[in-house]
Amino acid sequence: SVTLFGVIDMAVSGYKNQSVTPSGLAVDVSKTALSSSGYTTSRLGFRGTEDLGGGFAASFWLEAGMSPDTGSGAATGGGIAFNRRSTVSLSSGLGEIRLGRDYTPTYWNDAVFDPFGNLGVGGSLIYTASGGAALGVPGSGFQSNPNYIRASNSIGYLLPPNLGGIYGQFLYALNEKTNYDPGGLTPPGVAAVVANPALATADNARAGRYIGGRLGYMSGPLDTAVAFARSTIASNFFVGTTTNLDIWSIGASYDFGMVKLFGEYSNNKQDVNFATNTFNPVGTTKPGANGALLGFSIPVGASLIRASWSEVRYNNLPVGVFASQPEADQFAIGYVYNLSKRSALYASASYLDNKNGAALAVGGAPGFYTATAPGGVGNAVPNKSMGYDLGFRHIF
Amino acid sequence: SVTLFGVIDMAVSGYKNQSVTPSGLAVDVSKTALSSSGYTTSRLGFRGTEDLGGGFAASFWLEAGMSPDTGSGAATGGGIAFNRRSTVSLSSGLGEIRLGRDYTPTYWNDAVFDPFGNLGVGGSLIYTASGGAALGVPGSGFQSNPNYIRASNSIGYLLPPNLGGIYGQFLYALNEKTNYDPGGLTPPGVAAVVANPALATADNARAGRYIGGRLGYMSGPLDTAVAFARSTIASNFFVGTTTNLDIWSIGASYDFGMVKLFGEYSNNKQDVNFATNTFNPVGTTKPGANGALLGFSIPVGASLIRASWSEVRYNNLPVGVFASQPEADQFAIGYVYNLSKRSALYASASYLDNKNGAALAVGGAPGFYTATAPGGVGNAVPNKSMGYDLGFRHIF
Amino acid sequence: SVTLFGVIDMAVSGYKNQSVTPSGLAVDVSKTALSSSGYTTSRLGFRGTEDLGGGFAASFWLEAGMSPDTGSGAATGGGIAFNRRSTVSLSSGLGEIRLGRDYTPTYWNDAVFDPFGNLGVGGSLIYTASGGAALGVPGSGFQSNPNYIRASNSIGYLLPPNLGGIYGQFLYALNEKTNYDPGGLTPPGVAAVVANPALATADNARAGRYIGGRLGYMSGPLDTAVAFARSTIASNFFVGTTTNLDIWSIGASYDFGMVKLFGEYSNNKQDVNFATNTFNPVGTTKPGANGALLGFSIPVGASLIRASWSEVRYNNLPVGVFASQPEADQFAIGYVYNLSKRSALYASASYLDNKNGAALAVGGAPGFYTATAPGGVGNAVPNKSMGYDLGFRHIF
C-alpha cells in the first residue's frame, strides 16, 4: 500500500555574474558546477492511500528533497528530511482536509505558469526574487518570507475534483506562538522594556503564520488561477507591530497544441500592522515588488522547446539609495529531449539584466562582486547574470 | 523481503500552563500548535526476517521517528535517523539475541500499562517526569537518564515466545568508555588534579551504561510484568564517583471485555557510588521519585474511551527548598474513533496539578513562567497545566 | 521498478593502543564498544534501471551509510544522507556515463584487493593511512584527501562489460571553484595582500578536484588492475600554489580454489604546483608514502578464513623529527561463518606495530596517549595497536 517514488536530476552548469565598479570596470564572478534539479526537482518519497468506504479515503505523502551531486538532503547538516511535503489527509466528496507541511497556494501560480517550473537557470524571476536572492538594500518586499514555497504546521482544505473544472486550495499555517497572560509579562517583560526601551526587540513570535488561498479553472486547453495570501514574516510584541507580506497573483496557460502559452502577474507588498501600544514608532513605508512572466513551450516529437521572459520591479525603496526603482529582466530558452516518459536530456540557457541596483541572478549562480574595487569610490554594482544547464533527469 | 511501514499522526493541540507569583498573581503561558504523535508515534521504518533453517532466523528493524508537522526527523539538524530502533537479531527456539539501538526493558512497563501509551497530552506522569520535564530544583531523581526510553550500543536477549505466557527482555548497553592504564594518566591526569583540584570535573565516561531486565506473564485477559534497571547517568574519574539511576516498576492490565483496567507503580532512585579514592567528597543524599498510574479503556463499537490518573512524588529534595516534598497529579480522558484499523480520529484532554514546587506539564506544553514578576519577591511557582489534542492517525 | 536493499552489521569490538613515554613507561588506551560494519558496511539503499530501448538504459543508485549501533546516518548531526553513492547513469553498448557522488577509481584497488575489504580491525593499513588516521607530524602525504573514497560533483565513464575481461572507470570531479575576473579581485584582493602579505592564506578554492582512472583485467581466477589519480587537496590563490595528492596503485587477486591470494602496492605523493606569481615561496619537499598488502582467503564449507599483512612507509618527513622515516606493519586474521548467503557470524583480530613515530591504529581504535607523562621530558610516542571484532552481518 506504499508507493516509493523519486527523481534524480543532475546537470553540468555554468554561471557568470557581472558587476560594474563606479569607475566602469566590469568584474566577472563565474563558476562551473555539477548542479541538481535543473529540469525536475530531485526527490525521494513515500505515499499511499487507504479506501475507508463510503466515499472517504485516508492518504499520506512524505517527500524529501535531495542534492544528488553530493548525496545530501535538505536538513541542517545534510540529512534527509521530508521538507518537500509531509502530510496526512482525510478526503471525501466534499473535498480534502490536509494536515502537515505542504505547498502554499500562492506558490503554485509561480510554478505552474512558468514553462521552466522555477527550476535551473531558466526559472522565473518571480521565483528568484521571492526565494531569497537579496537586493542588497533593506525592505525590498519579496525577501524573508519563511512560507514562500511551503508552510509547516498547516491545515489545508482542497476542493473536490468534480466541480466542472473549478479547483481550489486554502491553507492556514499556525505560528505556534507562546502567549503570556498578563501580556506585560511576555519576556523580557513590560517593566524591563520601560526601564530600557532598547529591549523591545523583535521576538517574531507571530512569524510563520500564513493564510491564503487559490482558486482556478481548468477546461480543455485553458488553465487559469488567482491566488492570495498574508504571510507573517516578523513581529515585535513590545513595539506592537506585525510585519506581513501580502501576496496576490494571477496566472494562465493555454495550449494551442502546436504551442502552449504561459503568463503570470504577481504582486508582493510588505505591510507593518500597528497594535494599540505606546511604543509605536512613526509610520513606515510599504515596500514591495511586482513580477511578470510570459512564456511558451513547443512540443516537437520527443522534444520540447521552452522559452520565457520574466521581470521584477521593486517599489518604495528608501529615498536616495537609487535614482530610480530597481528592476531586472530575464530571458530564458530551453530544449528537452525525452528518451522516455521517465528519462530526459535537457539544455537551458538564460540571460538576466539588472538595473538601478537590482541584484538578481540566474538560478544557481554565485554571488555578485560587490566590494569596493582598489582605488575606487563606492561599491561595484550588480549588472548582468547568465548561465546554462546541460543535464539528465530520471524519474523512478 | 523488506517491509516498509510507518505512521503519520497529527493533531491540533492547545496547552495552558499556570504559575502563581508570591503575591498571588496567576500567570498563564499558552500555545496552540499542530502537534505530532498524539495517539500513535509518527514513524517510518524498514524491517524483515530471513529464515535460516533449523529453527534459526535472522531479522532486522530500522525505525525512524519524525515530526510530520514540519517534516523533520529526530537527528540534530532535523534529518531522518533510525533513532527509534536500529537492530539486527539472531533468534532460535532458545530466544533472540539482539544488537543495536533498542527500547530498554524498564520503558516498556511505562508504555504498555498506560492507556494513553505515554503519548499526547494524556501521557502518564511517570513518563513525563522521566522524560526530561524539569522540576526546577537539582537532584530530582528522574531526570537526565540518557537511556530512559532507548539505549544505543546495546546487547539484548529476549525469551522465546513459547514459555506458557512468560516473556522477558534483558539488555546491557555499553558506555564505550575509553580506559587509560595507568589510570592516573586519565585526562587531565592525576598530577594536574593534585595541583589544581578544580580540574576533577565530571568526565561522565561511565555514563550511558545500562543493565536491566523485564519479566512478565500474559495469559488470557491478564498481562503483568516487573522491570528493573541500573542506568549510569554521570561519573567523575578523579572524584571516584559513579552516579546511577536505579529503576524498578511493576505494572498490569486486565481486560474484562467491557472495560480494560491498567495500573503501574514505578520507583526511581539516584545512587552515587564511591570508588576508593582520596578525592571522595562527603556523603550525599539519594534523591528519587515514585510514580503511580491507574487507568481504563472502554471499547464501544468503533470507538474507544480512555482515562487515566497518574501521580509523581519526589523524595529527598535538598532541605529548606520546599516545606514538603513536591508532587503532581494528572487526570486524562480521551476518545478514539476508528475509521478503519489503520485510520482513526481522536480527542484527548488532561489536567495536571503541581504541589510544593513540582514543575511538570502535560505532554507538549510550553514552559511555565518562573521569572520574578515586577515588584515581586521570589519567583513564580508552577501550578496547573492543561491541554487537548484533536487529531488524525494513519498507519501505512 | 525500485529495489530497496541494505546491510546491517554490528560487532562487539575491543581495542588497545599502547604508547611509550621517553622514560620507557607503557601507557595503554583501551575501549570495548558495539561497533558497526566490521565485515560489510551497514547501509540502506534504493536503486533501479529503466530500459530505454535500442541498447540504452537509464539507472539510478542512492545508498546511505549508517551506524546501526546508534541508528545514526552519516550527515552532520546524524541524519541519513546518500553519502555512499548518489548517481544517475545513461548507459549503452559504448559504456556508461555516470553523474553524482561516486567511488573514486583509486579507491577500488584498496578495497577489492584487501581480503578484509578495508573493514573492521583487519582493514588494510593502506586504507587506514589514507582515511585520516593522523601521523602526528605535518605533511605525511596520505592525509587530507577529501576524495579518497568518494567524490561529489563527479562525472564518470565506465567501460562496457563486453571487452573480453577488460574493465575500467574514469572519473572527473569538479571543485566548483568560484573564479574572479580580473583575478586580482579574488578575495581578499591583490591590493590588500600587497599591503599585508599575511592575508595570502589558503582559500582552497581548487580543492575537491579529482581526475583519475582505473583499468583492469578479469579472466577466470585472475583479477588485476592499475589505478591512478590526481586529487587536489589545497590551494592558495595569492601564493599561486595548488597542492595535489598524486596516487597510483596496482593490485591483483588470484583464486586457486582452495585459496585466494591478494596483493596490492600503492604510492601517494603530495605535489605543490606553483603558478607564475611573485608570492611564490621557496621550494618545498614532496612528502608521501608507500603501502603494500599481501593476503589470502580460504573457503572451508560455510566458513571463510582470511588473513593479511599490510605495511605503510612514509617518505620525506621534515628533517630532524625522527632519525628514520616512520613506518607501520599490521597483521590481521579473520574467520567468517556463513549462516546463509545473507547472514554471517564473524571474528577478526589484528595487531599493528608503529616505528619511528608512525601513529596508525587498527580500525575503530581510540586515539593514542601522546601527552607528556608526569615528570617526563617529551611526549609519549605511539607504539602498538590491537583489536578484535565479534560480529553478525545481515544483508537485506
C342/B87 CB distance under 8 A: no
**For chain B, which ranges sit under pLDDT 50?**
133-141, 277-284
Q: A: neighbours with 3+ CB pairs under 8 Å?
A: B, C
Q: How far apart are CA A205 and CA A222, in angstroms?
A: 42
Task: Please indicate if any CB of chain A lies within 8 Å of the CB of C77.
Answer: yes
Grouped pLDDT means (10 residues each) for chain C, 396 residues? 95 97 93 97 98 97 98 96 98 97 97 97 92 45 76 98 96 97 92 92 92 98 98 90 92 98 94 60 64 98 98 72 80 98 98 91 92 77 96 98
Chain C neighbors of A70, CB-CB under 8 A: 86, 101, 152-153
C64/A80 CB distance under 8 A: yes
Mutate to test the interface with B, among C2, C3, C4, C8 (most CBs of B within 10 A): C8
Task: Please indicate if any CB of chain B lies within 8 Å of the CB of A195.
Answer: no
A34/C174 CB distance under 8 A: yes
Task: Please indicate if any CB of chain C lies within 8 Å of the CB of A69.
Answer: yes
CA of A20: how far to CAs of C115, C182, C187, in Å? 60, 12, 16
Give the number of other CB atoms < 10 A from CB of residue B47.
16
Handedness of CA C110, C112, C113, C117 (dihedral sign): positive
For C209, which residue in chain A has the nearest alpha carbon? Answer: A33
Binding-face residues of A in 92-151 toward B, CB within 8 A: 99-101
Chain C neighbors of B157, CB-CB under 8 A: none
The partner residue sitting opposite A90, judged by closest CB among B27, B66, B392, is: B392
C84/A71 CB distance under 8 A: yes
Task: Please indicate if any CB of chain C lies within 8 Å of the CB of B58.
Answer: yes
* pTM (two decimals): 0.95
Measure in Å the smallest separation between the Cα of C230 and chain B Cα atoms: 34
Of C68, C73, C80, nearest to C8 (Cα)? C68
Cβ atoms of C125 and A110 closer than 8 Å: no
Measure in Å the smallest separation between the Cα of C126 and chain A Cα atoms: 25
Binding-face residues of B in 143-162 toward C, CB within 8 A: 152-155
Mutate to test the interface with B, among A67, A76, A86, A180 (most CBs of B within 10 A): A86
CB-count exposure of residue C363 (10 Å: 0-12, 13-18, 19+):
buried
Residue-level pLDDT at A135: 44
Task: Please indicate if any CB of chain C lies within 8 Å of the CB of A79.
Answer: yes
For C63, which residue in chain A has the nearest alpha carbon? Answer: A71
Task: Please indicate if any CB of chain A lies within 8 Å of the CB of C391.
Answer: no
Q: How far apart are CA A31 and CA A18, in angstroms?
A: 12
Task: Please indicate if any CB of chain A lies within 8 Å of the CB of B72.
Answer: yes
For C31, which residue in chain B has the nearest alpha carbon? Answer: B178
C58/A340 CB distance under 8 A: yes
A33/C76 CB distance under 8 A: no
The partner residue sitting opposite C153, judged by closest CB among A4, A34, A76, is: A34
Task: Please indicate if any CB of chain C lies within 8 Å of the CB of A20.
Answer: no
Cβ atoms of C82 and C325 closer than 8 Å: no
Mutate to test the interface with C, among B60, B61, B175, B206 (most CBs of C within 10 A): B60
Helix (H) or strand (E) segment spanning residue C56: strand C56-67
Q: How far apart are CA B99 and CA B60, in angstroms?
A: 10
Chain B neighbors of A191, CB-CB under 8 A: 374-375
The partner residue sitting opposite C31, judged by closest CB among B62, B87, B177, is: B177
Cβ atoms of C290 and C301 closer than 8 Å: no
Cβ atoms of B249 and B141 closer than 8 Å: no
Read off the pLDDT of residues B158-168 as tens digits, 9 standing for 90 and up. Answer: 999 999 999 99
Q: How far apart are CA C345 and CA C337, in angstroms?
A: 5
All residues at 6 or more sequence positions from C319 whose CB lies less than 8 Å from its CB, including other chains: none
Cβ atoms of B207 and B232 closer than 8 Å: yes
Measure in Å the smallest separation between the Cα of A58 and chain C Cα atoms: 24
For B32, which residue in chain A has the nearest alpha carbon? Answer: A176
Residue-level pLDDT at C320: 54
Binding-face residues of A in 238-267 toward B, CB within 8 A: none
Phi, psi angles (nearest 5°) of residue B272: -100, 110
The partner residue sitting opposite B88, judged by closest CB among C8, C31, C80, is: C8
Chain C neighbors of B189, CB-CB under 8 A: 371, 374
C72/B75 CB distance under 8 A: yes
For B11, which residue in chain A has the nearest alpha carbon? Answer: A99
The cell for C170 is 574514469
Task: Please indicate if any CB of chain A lies within 8 Å of the CB of C174.
Answer: yes
C154/A343 CB distance under 8 A: no
Phi, psi angles (nearest 5°) of residue C91: -130, 155
Instruction: Report helix, strand or coil for A4.
Output: strand
Which amino acid belongs to residue A2? V
Q: What is the DSSP string of A336-386?
A: EEESSSSEEEEEEEEEEEEETT-----TT--PPP-SPPTT-SS--EEEEEE
Task: Please indicate if any CB of chain C lies within 8 Å of the CB of B34.
Answer: no
Measure in Å the smallest separation between the Cα of B370 and chain A Cα atoms: 11
A34/C189 CB distance under 8 A: no
The partner residue sitting opposite A70, judged by closest CB among C2, C88, C153, is: C153
Task: Please indicate if any CB of chain C lies within 8 Å of the CB of A10.
Answer: yes
Residue with cell 551531486: A69
CB-count exposure of residue B379 (10 Å: 0-12, 13-18, 19+):
middle
Of A367, A290, A360, A351, nearest to A328 (Cα)? A360
Mutate to test the interface with C, among A339, A384, A395 (most CBs of C within 10 A): A339
Q: How far apart are CA A151 and CA C199, in angstroms?
A: 44
Enter the ipTM: 0.94
Per-residue pLDDT of chain A (396 residues; tens, 9 = 90+): 799 999 999 999 999 999 999 889 999 999 999 999 999 999 999 999 999 999 999 999 999 999 999 999 999 999 999 999 999 999 999 999 999 999 999 999 999 999 999 999 999 999 988 875 444 333 334 556 889 999 999 999 999 999 999 999 999 999 999 999 999 999 999 989 999 999 998 899 999 999 999 999 999 999 999 999 999 988 999 988 898 999 999 999 999 999 999 999 999 888 888 765 444 344 445 778 899 999 999 999 999 999 999 999 987 655 555 567 889 999 999 999 999 999 999 999 999 999 988 889 999 999 999 888 666 678 898 999 999 999 999 999
Measure in Å the smallest separation between the Cα of C365 and chain B Cα atoms: 10
